A and B are shown apart, each in its own frame.
Chain A
Amino acid sequence: MFHWLEKNPFFFAVGVFLVIAFAGIISILPDFAKSSQPLVGTKPYTVLELTGRHVYIKDSCNACHSQLIRPFKNETDRYGKYSLSGEYAYDRPFLWGSKRTGPDLMRIGNYRTTDWHANHMWEPTAIVPGSIMPRYRHHFTNIANFETAYAEAVTVKKVFNVPYDKPNMPKLGTFEEAQKEALIEAKKIAAAMKKDTDNNDIKTALDNGQIPEIVALIAYLNSLK
């Protein structure tokens, strides 16, 4: 058998690859599977937060912001505790990012508030003089795509067994239930957005059962802890 392999360098190379790949798989995968389990206390996103996550992805916030705090003192001083892989268990896809034009946002929910985000997204330079972050005023008028987020939540629940509707976990329910729940949350956020921004449009939209992008985005940012 080995004679045959020695005379066929191509298949010999394939054999070498298989042996090394097998060794790699049995030494990497078990550890990987273990560390990608959700940490105790990590919860899947509510549908409103997921809606905001779609806004975040759509407007490429991850092009300028990372969500990965490395275990270096200078980072943990500014952003809080270093990230652990289990914290990303419900991120599909994760938004680590690869460039920090702006600060890391992994735990932004711990040290910024709804009102702050509203003012900052409306006019970053009014809050942080000299900021080069673009304004996102269209978030205040665009209506977020709640349906897609609900569909995603249902899909990951069915396909990956994400623990929606389990005790102490976010509720999903039927589309109408989810929408009602999200509107209640969204109205709380809208009430906490106070200054400088034009809130009337947002309140009217919410009263009509629509969720403006800014509200969903803030719900998402507040959930990053």
Chain B
Amino acid sequence: MTTSDCDVVIIGSGPGGATTAEVLCAAGWSVVVLEKGRNHLVDLEPPHEPLRHFANDEIAALRRHLLGPDPLLEPRTYRRTVEDGERLMVGEVNNLPSTVGGGGVHADAKLPRFREEDFRLLSERGPVEGASVADWPIGYDDLEPHYAAVEQLFGVAGEDGTNPFAAPRSTPYPLPPGDDMPMALVTSAASRRAGLHPYRAPTGVNSVAADGRPACTDCGFCGGYGCPVQAKSDPIAALQRALRSGRCDLRPESYATELVLDASGRRATGVRYLDLREHPEPTVLEVRARRAVVLAAGAFETPRFLLRQGLGGDLVGRYLTYHYQTFTVGLFPAADFPDGTGGERGRSVTHLHDDLVVDSVGLRRAARDAGLPWLRGGVVEHGAGQMPVDEATTYGPGPHHLDAMRDSALRRRMWAFTMQGEDLAQISNRIDLDPSVRDVWGFPAGRVTYAPHRHELAASAYAAPLHEAVMLDAGAEVAFSATSPPQGSLDQHAASSPLGMAPASRHVMGTARMGSDPTDSVVDAGQRLWDVDNVLVCDSSVFVTSAGYNPTLTLVALAHRAAHLLVGE
């Protein structure tokens, strides 16, 4: 066993870990970042230029697990409720990349802020039976300076003043908005005719050359792919700055397995990890932390890590939330998509609308009809269809295959609204350790137990016909909606959903909830574990509500705040 020292060990190099590393290094602290995945992002040698590993390559990115994790090595399991038995499936469940940069590498980086109400949901809206609606221990005002700071650090491209529901801002967006996707302009116009308020999505992608990286080329292979020109800023920008400080030691292929605690059990002194460059018997190494350990392994792996050691209390892994996704698909006449106007070029999503997040007469009526006190949907993304390999595998084999590809209902002629619906926290929805499935290194796999609350179903049922009408008005010949996870019986689940049985959402939150009382939370308002003083959680595990907005900017702002509190600023 080898040891070495630093001020802080950070587990995970995704947006949360990278931001924490940047703040700590800027304050003069030394950090070791342990990342279990491999490095395809940034040269670990000065001057830490981007690596040239990415191309517009569907096979490497979507079919061959270039960014990991490989489900043969790291399976996860899923069931809807305990009545399903130990599990319904083994394989990929909410997988985010396991690689240097984490999910930031392949996300298409819509980075909206939450609104004031999101932090005070219990006070503003009240309780809902069967759900655990709560206020956050901090408010929007506490987070606003950190939102502003991380928007600058990641060079968020956006437009002030066009979203009437946006929370107040102290600073303008640092970069102008990027190019619009032509079809997003068509669905935005139709949305406006329906009384909705679409706006250009704030995005962590260079709209112009900035920070030593070029502007986006609108290559089309965006959500799900590493950027070939490194126009995506989150999290390469933070990692480069941390590395260039000379105080960040980033160690890929380092699988953190255990916190090392002092005799009192209330203080972490370091982290043990496996050196995955070795095979088949990886050496166990230990890195000592003088001041703190930060868990930024993502809201799936952070609770899995804590549960293995029984740390964090009884609520670790509970209150798991996603976004309940409602997809409304419009199939347009081919003539509406002259070359390059579909999803074949451009970022995957360029426009959003927030109307279903805010209170309205329609939502109130739908809530009343469903016997609920209130309803909230989520941000709605105006986005493109599939890329060709993905599309081809959706159509069954046989003589009709080429005709289906030429007709291209799911790629060329398709446009979709995706509502990232607020998912109410429930204590029964959780991540725990599967009793028998293990990863290749012998550790129990993470298991999801998740079923939506009827609030989510009612909000989805309200949104679907509204968005179908907008699609038809935009010119679609056909419009229909589907949800993830799919609704209906188990047989229907298995047979009918191309997105699979488990939630397809990669917005995972809430599994180490923050609060002001150790009896109903896992971390305090400074994101420290209640039961181990110098261990912080800096990822979306700490979310108290899921808010119906893409989570990354908020988790990054929280990491920025927690790191500043840690260094005493």
The answer to whether A and B interact is no
> Chain A interface (Cβ within 8 Å of chain B)?
none
> Chain B interface (Cβ within 8 Å of chain A)?
none
